[in-house]
Amino acid sequence: MATESTKWKITDFPDQTGRTAVVTGANSGLGIATVDALARAGARVILAVRDVKRGEAAAANVLGAKGSLEVRRLDLADLASVREFAAGWKGDLDLLINNAGVMNVPESRTKDGFETQFGTNHLGHFALTNLLLPHVTDRVVTVASAAHRWSGASIYFDNLNLTGQYAPMVAYGQSKLANLLFTLELQRRLTEAGSPVRALAAHPGYAATNLQSHDANFVRRLLMRLTNRLIAQDSQSGALPTLYAAVQDLPGTSYVGPDGRGESRGGPTLVGRSQAASDPVSARRLWTASEELTNTTFPSLPRATAPTRA
């Protein structure tokens, strides 16, 4: 259940001059809305996108930016692309926003043979985070979804690719539950390592984006097109929970969503998560499986240093 509204608005967004952020899936929807807010506030923002030309076109539409914009290729459905992106990173990274995702798509596989939604939404971001973490100085924000609460949402540890039992909504629910379990275990490891970096999650509620247009079911696509017009928030409003998680002084594992009825719309506030998304045993088990699948591990990190006393 959502807590009392913070009444936080984009006009409350603090200055981001001197900060560097990576936003995945940044060429449309929540991603470009997030980029726009960060750049207008003065941040250097890297748009990590699969299609560079589309990313450059999106960046060209960000007007009034005080910070700089850069487009780099990243295909989360291809671990070689993830490794190439991370290998090319130099210097500090204040903020990593794991925003990209696919939703309810027909059954397919990533280039590495993973079920597309689990492979893109979770495994790609898992690998990217581990590889970039030595550069991260502030926080990692992963965009989850209320879909982690869908009836039957579970991590199918004995069949993560859902081979022979694929259903688009089941796969999406699994991937979004994985996002929250990933955040939970990432924060545990960061704390254990003595790192000051924080892992947080956010969800947009019901926001009208391109995500719904790829649904495998024709009838659902039509219904979503209608509800996008009548009910949904715009992408700028949907990005507010992510932006709130990115800049507010919140503890690790915080989960931010809209404060309205059913967490479908409204201002950003701290929200709850399902019991399944709060299970540390499942979180550790998922982490181990993800390490094996991606061949990436939690890196060695410098410990936080205590402030010098006068």
Question: What residues are labeled active site?
Answer: 172
β-bridge mates for residue 152, sequence order: none
Place of tokens 């490794």: 83
Q: How far is CA 67 from CA 42, 44, 78, 93, 293, in A?
A: 4, 5, 30, 15, 37
Gap between the Cα atoms of 232 and 264, Å rounded: 8
**CB within 8 Å of 117: residues ≥ 6 apart:** 101, 102, 103, 104, 105, 168, 171, 172, 174, 175
Please, what is the end-to-end C-alpha distance for the chain in angstroms?
45
Cα 189 to chain centroid distance, Å, stands at 18
Contact 272, 149 (CB under 8 A): no
Query: Order of strands, edge to edge, in the sheet holding 44-49?
Result: 69-73, 44-49, 20-24, 93-98, 136-143, 198-202, 255-258, 268-270
